[in-house]
Structure 1
Amino acid sequence: MKIIMYNVRQDTEGRFVREWAKETGNEVKVVHEPLSADNVNLMKGCDGLDILQTMPIGDEAVYKQIADMGIRQITCRMVGINMIDLAACKKYNLKVTHVPVYSPRAIAEMGVAHAMYLLRRIGEYRYEMDHNADFSWPANLMSNEIFNLTVGLIGLGNIGSATAQIYKALGAKVIAFDPSYNPADEPFVTYVDSADEVIKNADILSLHVPLLPSTKGMIGAEQLKMMKNSAYLINMSRGGLVDTEALIQALKNHEIAGAGLDTLADETTYFGKKVTPADVPADYKELAAMPNVTITPHSAFFTETAVRNMVRIGLNDVVTIVNGGRSRNEVFLG
């Protein structure tokens, strides 16, 4: 079987791809760029398709080209599928799979790391030391300890659940809102009736929901005003969940204490890339200059365990679907 993989970094995924190909006896054609209308023709002669995307793959014509070349599936080696036109996939009989669980703990740990850095005021101490030669212990930088705090989660899927378990182990009270109730989370979480209840009561508010029309901008000016002035917002999910301009204003107005961000709404133009200083957006620069904000370039997933699992689960799903089987990671197309 010949599989084409798009957006493969040789310095990270490459060795896991080679290991898998050697173990299974399948051929993998590697393309370093994401799938687009400009390179869709490269999959000609291949049996299966595996992609990693942060941007749409193109208009309906691209999906038709994929189907016309004999491909019957699109495997996304990531959780999010918002860059895939599911209606076009259904129209051209393209099955879609994703990797909903590759290492929930990788993202959970990064979120907790951001939160603890902010909670202990490390960025603010560094700012005073570096800019003002102030090595004292000002009263306004006295911090709290995690066991005294309430952590609020919106979304309690695999990553949310892993996050809850870590915070619970650290002694925090954990509350969460999710439309689906999972009794397995009972030892770690107290469910509440609404997202607003979480927002109002959390000392650390952590987002773990997909980006959908219903969740886009779910944290805006109104929600930020609901939060405690001493609360921190943590977003390891999707940048579009948060109104960036509203967040900047809330931070300037001291409506919240800080923010830990692994994702921003306009990140696809620069996160995951090396760009020129002129290409860095103004909103990033403004946030990054704040000592009570931490930003990472959507790298929470970037652990050896997670990358290996993304590669292997994705490629295994390609083989399963091409051979006529059904993957448990298949996306319902309606």
Structure 2
Amino acid sequence: MKIIMYAVLDVERPFIKAWAEKHNVEIKCVTERLTPETVKWADGYDGIDFQQTHMLDDSIYPTLKAMGFKQLTARMVGLDMVNVPLAKQNGLIVTNVPAYSPRAIAEMGLTQALRLVRKLGYYDQRMDKLDFRWTGLESTEIYNLTVGIIGAGNIGGATARIYSALGANVIATDPVHHAELEAYLKYTDLETVLTESDIVTIHTPLDDTTVNMLDAAAFKKMKPTAYLINMARGGLVKTPDLIAALQNHEIAGAALDTLADEVQFFEKQAEPDEIPEDYKTLRAMPNVLISPHSAFYTNTAMKNIVEMGLDDVLAVLEGRHPQYEVLY
């Protein structure tokens, strides 16, 4: 049995090697993304496993079908880069890794929120000018704040647990109510989350119903002292509206692990002419923190990403039901 894995990181290789030896499976690792050109490398393999933030080209699905593939495993949570209906039309069972380490992303969100609340961006800016005065930068403490979560799934739930443990008042909106989270949060509606929260943190999938859900109208509902945390998908936030809200002091700041146009320049050493103006504008603000879609990047997460993804590849190849099949 042979499996090909695309976009493999060096940090994943020890976990891949250990899994392959345990299950007596041959695995070929390539660093390139899955594209119409590189999909040809999959010919002769039984299973396929990939990760990337770029949209898969539609030609890939019939190509995999013609090669005899029965599955397509995405080594990630979000599936906005996969045309799931088209994959199913081509006989491909799609799986993902929905909860490889919710705490990794939740902890990154907390880290950035604390930096914003404590105004560390402003301190950094002053100290770069050898100005060591702290006057005018009074902050508060987490237990005084209300944290609003948009999307209380695996990551949102982990986020709720952490903030609750720190003493924050946590509220959340989600179409599905999880009874086990009620010890850590109070369910409410989106309007209440936006108007009452001091920190709004979003953890929803990106699809046609959620694209640009945080726009000018949403920002006008938020407190002028509130912070936005986006550790999910860039397309959830309408970037021009966010910039305007920050410039007009409608919100106090933002932490962004992802941007709507990040595929142009993230995951590489970018050239100056590749950097869009919205990134430059945001990056210059002391009340905005940007990281390169790296909230997931911990050793625990990488181990789980590899093992959970490959477990489902093997399940399909052996005729068993995968644990994380995407059903929509």
TM range (shorter): over 0.9
User: Which residue in 2 is equivalent to 1:2?
Assistant: 2
* Partner Cα separation in structure 2 for residue 78 and residue 39 of structure 1: 19
The answer (yes or no) to whether the contact 2:148–2:194 under 8 Å persists in 1 is: yes
SS in 2 for 1:152: strand
The aligned counterpart of 1:173 is 169
The aligned counterpart of 1:32 is 31
| Distance in structure 2 (CA, Å) of the matches to 1:118 and 1:187 | 27
The equivalent of 2:44 in structure 1 is 45
1:142 aligns with 2:141: no
Deviation at 1:129? 2.2
Matched, 1:89 2:84: no
Give the match for residue 225 of structure 1. Answer: 220
C-alpha displacement at 1:239, in angstroms? 0.3
- Please say if residues 200 and 226 of structure 2, whose CA atoms lie closer than 8 Å, have aligned partners that are also in contact: yes
| Structure 1 Cα separation of the partners of residues 85 and 251 of structure 2 | 40
**Structure 1 CA distance, aligned partners of 2:282 and 2:289?**
8
Does the CA contact (< 8 Å) of 2:112 and 2:255 recur in 1?
A: yes
Distance 1:51 1:125 in 2: 41
Following superposition, the deviation at residue 69 of structure 1 comes to 0.5
- What residue ranges of structure 2 are gaps of 5+ in the alignment? none
Query: Counterpart of 1:159?
Result: 155
| One-letter code aligned to 2:114 | M
Partner of 2:206: 211
- Deviation, 1:156, is 0.2
1:204-283 mapped onto 2 (5 Å cutoff): 204-283=199-278
Cα shift readout 1:118-174 (whole Å, capped 9, x = no counterpart) = 00011111112223x3222223x1101111110000100000000000000111000
Q: In structure 2, what is the Cα distance between the partners aligned to 1:328 and 1:53?
A: 21
**Partners of 1:14 and 1:276 in 2: CA distance:** 29
Q: Distance in 2 between matches of 1:72 and 1:66?
A: 8
Q: Residue 21 in 1 paired to residue 16 in 2?
A: no
* CA shift for structure 1 position 18: 1.3
- Match of 1:74, SS state, is strand
The one-letter code of the counterpart of 2:296 is F
8 Å CA contact 2:104, 2:297 repeated in 1? yes
In structure 2, distance between residues paired with 1:330 and 1:48: 15
Q: What displacement does 1:4 show?
A: 0.6
Displacement after TM superposition at 1:33 (Å): 0.8
TM-score w.r.t. the length of structure 2 is 0.98
Residue in structure 2 matching 1:196, options 183, 191, 196: 191
Shift of 1:47: 0.4
Letter in 2 for 1:34: R
Q: Is the 8 A contact 2:49 2:72 kept in 1?
A: yes
Deviations 1:22-58, CA, capped at 9 Å, x for gaps: 2211000112111010111111110001010211221
TM-score of the aligned structures, taking structure 1 as reference length: 0.96
Counterpart amino acid of residue 78 in structure 2: G
User: Could you tell me which residue of structure 2 aligns to residue 290 of structure 1?
Assistant: 285
Count of equivalent residues: 328
- Which residue type is aligned with residue 34 of structure 2? L
> Aligned partners of 1:134, 1:62: CA distance in 2, in Å?
55
Cα distance in 1, alignment partners of residues 28 and 300 from structure 2: 23
2:124, 2:240 → 1: CA distance?
25
Q: Contact 2:88–2:94 (CA<8 Å) still a contact in 1?
A: no
Q: Deviation of residue 108 (structure 1)?
A: 0.1
For the aligned residues, what is the CA RMSD?
0.9
Letter matched to residue 205 of structure 1: V
Deviation at 1:248, TM superposition (A): 0.7
The whole-number CA distance in structure 2 between the counterparts of 1:65 and 1:113 is 43
Contact 2:103 2:155 in 1 (8 A): yes
> Which stretches in structure 1 are left out of the alignment for 5+ residues?
none
* Percent of aligned pairs sharing the same letter: 50
Whole-Å separation in 2 of the counterparts to 1:233 and 1:86 = 30
Q: Matches of 1:103 and 1:129 in 2, distance apart? A: 35
